[in-house]
């Protein structure tokens, strides 16, 4: 199974094929971000119409047939003529490919503007989608007011839930509040993005997904950001292009500063595990990733302010995923290593240089291939994740890997690790 990248005919941006729509008339590809309009024009009044690029407004969308006809030379198709016409406009500074995209509605609210929520606020504001920020912490709210004076700020959740202009709410509050807040958002008739973990119990997570399913159109998205890192996208692209190289073993390591002076094993588990567990479950063959056998061990040092958790998930046919999470451990680490029969794929988000995040090594020869990250087109994983989330939540098309029940599945798996830790000898 391969992954192909295409340029959207409407907005001119590159996208994975699974996020594109195909026009019924001309089979040209359009992204799912509202680009595809049923707008048709022909060079001659009675000529067969062909689907053309849609643009931001009617004035820019319309192309004078007389102007377009000048480019219908040498047997050029109408689509090619329109492309050449647009390129001339770009060169003259009269148009830009970004003009093809409808401006996103400022209809997103964020609950929580603290440690991670502030980053979500930044990206949504940059994307012109942010309408309201809600936080009970006065200093956090004041920081948003000062930096983004055009954004409505409130400590009252009721204002968010009752605002008919808000269609998506991002929950970036402490994890033990996720279920209560997300369920209120869904009951208010709004889609919800929940920062990891989706909930702190599988029962709550399943209830949340069921609430969305029974709503008849509302959707849930979990913020497992690692899937949207450009090097991880390349990792999956490589695996899809090499279907015979089945994943046999995954090793994940993540170490980060502790949130307090005395981190516990369970705090470390729930804080660091969701990203890696989500990725490992996706890497394993879906037919063999249910109900893995789970083992875990933890160690904490009050004097050193360190907590570490090691866990193993063993799947059908012997495939396994091994995890090492540490809070208060130095230096910071974040890596994923994937083993197949013939190759080792290694992603390091900390130690490697920007051009050396993902490497693929052939086990028989030792030949090593580096997948460079091109600075010119690099976008932050959070920017990509939020763009994918908003597109999916509003349209329901091309469900991404972290949509709906995926978040609940991850919570169930972390619960297994938690039970394994609780059963270990004192």
pLDDT digits over 375-385, tens only? 555 678 999 99
What is the spatial distance between Cα 144 and Cα 137, in angstroms, rounded to a whole number? 11
What the chain holds in terms of domains, given with CATH numbers, is 5-100 (no CATH), 108-226+399-404 (3.40.50.720), 245-375+407-423 (3.30.360.10)
- What average pLDDT does this structure show over 169-174? 98
3-state secondary structure of 144: helix
pLDDT at residue 32, rounded to an integer: 47
- What's the start-to-end Cα distance of the chain, in Å? 47
Give the tokens for residue 298.
């933890």
pLDDT at residue 261, rounded to an integer: 84
pLDDT at residue 45, rounded to an integer: 33
**Residue 87 clears pLDDT 50, i.e. is over it:** yes
3-state secondary structure of 23: coil
Q: What percent of the chain has pLDDT over 90?
A: 55
What is the spatial distance between Cα 132 and Cα 118, in angstroms, rounded to a whole number? 13
Classify residue 304 by burial, with Cβ atoms within 10 Å: 0-12, 13-18, 19+. exposed
pLDDT at residue 393, rounded to an integer: 93
Rounded to the nearest 5 degrees, what angle is found at the Cα of 24, between the Cα atoms of 20 and 30?
A: 25
User: 308 Cβ partners below 8 Å, 6+ apart?
Assistant: 265, 268, 298, 299, 300, 324, 325, 326, 327, 329
Do 57 and 74 meet the contact criterion of CB atoms below 8 Å apart?
no
**Residue 15 clears pLDDT 50, i.e. is over it:** no
Q: How many residues does the chain have?
A: 426
Average pLDDT, the chain: 80
Beta strands at 333-339 and 220-223: parallel, antiparallel or unpaired: unpaired
What is the spatial distance between Cα 132 and Cα 125, in angstroms, rounded to a whole number? 10
What is the spatial distance between Cα 198 and Cα 204, in angstroms, rounded to a whole number? 9
What is the spatial distance between Cα 218 and Cα 168, in angstroms, rounded to a whole number? 10
pLDDT at residue 71, rounded to an integer: 59
pTM of the predicted model, to two decimals?
Answer: 0.75
- 257 C-beta neighbours (distance < 10 Å), count: 11
Q: What is the pLDDT of residues 350-371, one digit of tens each?
A: 876 655 689 999 999 999 998 7
Strand order in the sheet with 108-111: 152-154, 130-134, 108-111, 168-171, 191-195, 220-223
């Amino acid at each position: 199974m391969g992954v192909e990248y295409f340029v959207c005919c409407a907005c001119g941006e590159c996208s994975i094929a699974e996020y594109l729509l195909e026009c019924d008339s001309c089979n040209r590809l359009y992204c799912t971000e509202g680009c595809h309009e049923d707008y048709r024009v022909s060079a001659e009044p009675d000529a067969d119409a062909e689907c053309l690029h849609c643009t931001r407004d009617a004035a820019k969308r319309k192309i004078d047939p007389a102007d377009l006809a000048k480019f219908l030379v040498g047997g050029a198709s109408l689509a090619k003529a329109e492309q050449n016409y647009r390129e001339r406009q770009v060169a003259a500074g009269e148009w830009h490919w970004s003009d093809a995209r409808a401006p996103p509605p400022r209809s997103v609210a964020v609950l929580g503007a603290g440690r991670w929520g502030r980053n979500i606020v930044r990206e949504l504001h940059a994307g012109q989608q942010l309408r309201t920020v809600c936080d009970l912490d006065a200093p956090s709210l004041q920081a948003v007011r000062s930096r983004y004076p055009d954004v409505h700020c409130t400590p009252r959740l009721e204002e968010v839930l009752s605002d008919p202009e808000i269609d998506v709410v991002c929950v970036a509050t402490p994890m033990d509040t996720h279920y209560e807040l997300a369920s209120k958002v869904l009951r208010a008739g709004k889609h919800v993005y929940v920062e990891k973990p989706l909930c702190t119990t599988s029962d709550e997570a399943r209830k949340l997904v069921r609430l969305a399913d029974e709503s008849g159109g509302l959707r849930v998205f979990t913020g497992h950001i690692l899937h949207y890192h450009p090097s991880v996208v390349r990792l999956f692209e490589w695996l899809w292009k090499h279907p015979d190289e089945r994943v046999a073993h995954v090793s994940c390591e993540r170490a980060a500063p502790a949130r307090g002076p005395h981190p516990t094993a369970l705090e470390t588990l729930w804080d660091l595990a969701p990203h890696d567990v989500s990725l490992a479950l996706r890497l394993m063959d879906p037919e063999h990733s249910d109900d893995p056998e789970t083992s875990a061990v933890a160690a904490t040092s009050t004097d050193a302010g360190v907590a570490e958790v090691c866990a193993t998930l063993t799947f059908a046919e012997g495939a396994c995923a091994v995890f090492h999470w540490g809070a208060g451990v130095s230096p910071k680490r974040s890596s994923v290593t994937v083993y197949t029969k013939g190759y080792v794929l290694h992603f390091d988000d900390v130690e490697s240089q920007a051009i050396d995040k993902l490497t693929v090594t052939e086990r028989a020869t030792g030949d090593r291939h580096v997948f460079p990250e091109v600075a010119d087109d690099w976008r932050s994983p959070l920017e990509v994740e939020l763009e994918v989330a908003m597109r999916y939540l509003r349209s329901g098309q091309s469900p991404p890997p972290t949509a709906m029940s995926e978040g609940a599945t991850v919570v169930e798996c972390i619960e297994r690790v938690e039970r394994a830790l609780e059963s270990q000898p004192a």
